[in-house]
Amino acid sequence: MGSEEKTRIAAVQMVSGPDIGENLREAGRLVAEAAARGARLVALPEYFPLISGNETDKVRAREKDGAGPLQDFLREEAMKHKVWLVGGSIPLEASVPDKVRNTCLVFDDSGRRVARYDKIHLFGFQRGTERYNESQTIEAGRGVVAIDSPFGRLGLSICYDLRFPELYRSMGEVDLLVVPAAFTQTTGQSHWELLLRARAVENLCYVLASAQGGTHPSGRMTWGDSMIIDPWGAVLDRLPKGPGVVVADIDPARIAELRANLPALLHRTIF
């Protein structure tokens, strides 16, 4: 890791609605709370600026890469609170006019953009009247993103990516996996914690999961349960439902100790 000291990190949980301005105010309030509690890295949830009953609303809200009020908000919040800010996801322009890239941007504590990750795996689910098909309005990304930071190496992913362990393994050795999400109530209650803890254990790293969690104005229900997990699979803090902040310390000595005790990453065989 970049530092041998413990670092406090935070996951922000929200219940976003269709009013972008209102969502940004709520996100700003929660980032401020996380910073006040000592967090140096803060992650917002997937779709933090907008969740509505009309999936095409995010297409109308999409921004050009590098310019727009959503990107300005993230940059300014990182600077104001002097935190590294993982911007959940926002809609950026795609190669076609009727879709977006579901994009996670990272800004450092000086407001400099240091990473962009476009969600690779697009969620599809159908059971009875419950149906999701992200590929109708989202264009899939292609590149795996992991970056160095003062807190160690960070691997970026979004929501449905969590079901694909090969994505995380392709990042190499990382110290912290960040998973902004809007897991559904149906899939979340069965698989959310199970998958997060598995990713932590198999990569012997911390996992920071920032979720949407509650009943949205559109009637959509998201699972929530934002949490921070240590490299041995222990849940350090969590928030089942509603807006709020989850905090915990990541300890590079803990990672080093566990990797020395169980050098599974060195025992891997590539088939």
pLDDT per residue as tens digits for the range 196-251 = 999 999 999 999 999 999 999 999 999 999 999 999 999 999 999 999 999 999 99
Q: Provide mean pLDDT across the span 132-156.
A: 94
Instruction: Provide the pLDDT for residue 1.
Output: 53
Q: Provide mean pLDDT across the span 88-111.
A: 98
Count of all residues that appear for the chain in the document: 271
Instruction: Provide the pLDDT for residue 133.
Output: 81
> Active-site residue numbers?
46, 119, 159
Instruction: Provide the pLDDT for residue 150.
Output: 96
Pick from 149, 259, 146: nearest CA to 200: 259
Q: What are phi and psi of 198, to 5 degrees?
A: -65, -45
Instruction: Provide the pLDDT for residue 258.
Output: 97
Q: How confident is the model at residue 127 (pLDDT cuts 50, 70, 90)?
A: confident
27-45 pLDDT, tens digit each = 999 999 999 999 999 999 9
**Whole-angstrom Cα distance, residue 158 to residue 160?**
6
CB proximity list for 112: less than 8 A, separation 6 or greater: none
pLDDT value at 78 more than 80: yes
Instruction: Provide the pLDDT for residue 270.
Output: 83
**Whole-angstrom Cα distance, residue 159 to residue 77?**
23
245-259 pLDDT, tens digit each = 999 999 999 999 999
* Placement of tokens 């190499």 in the chain: 172
- Among 3-7, 110-114, 115-119, 235-239, the range scoring the smallest mean pLDDT is 3-7
Domains in the chain, please, with CATH?
Answer: 7-261 (3.60.110.10)
Distances (CA, A) of 246 to 8, 78, 79, 268: 10, 18, 21, 33
Instruction: Provide the pLDDT for residue 264.
Output: 93
**Whole-angstrom Cα distance, residue 199 to residue 134?**
23
Q: How confident is the model at residue 267 (pLDDT cuts 50, 70, 90)?
A: very high
Instruction: Provide the pLDDT for residue 27.
Output: 98
Instruction: Provide the pLDDT for residue 123.
Output: 84
Instruction: Provide the pLDDT for residue 3.
Output: 57
CB 182 within 8 A of CB 222: yes
DSSP string, 60-85: HT-B-TT-SHHHHHHHHHHHHHT-EE
Instruction: Provide the pLDDT for residue 124.
Output: 76
pLDDT value at 128 more than 90: no
- Average pLDDT of the chain, as a whole number: 96
Q: What percent of the chain has pLDDT over 70?
A: 99
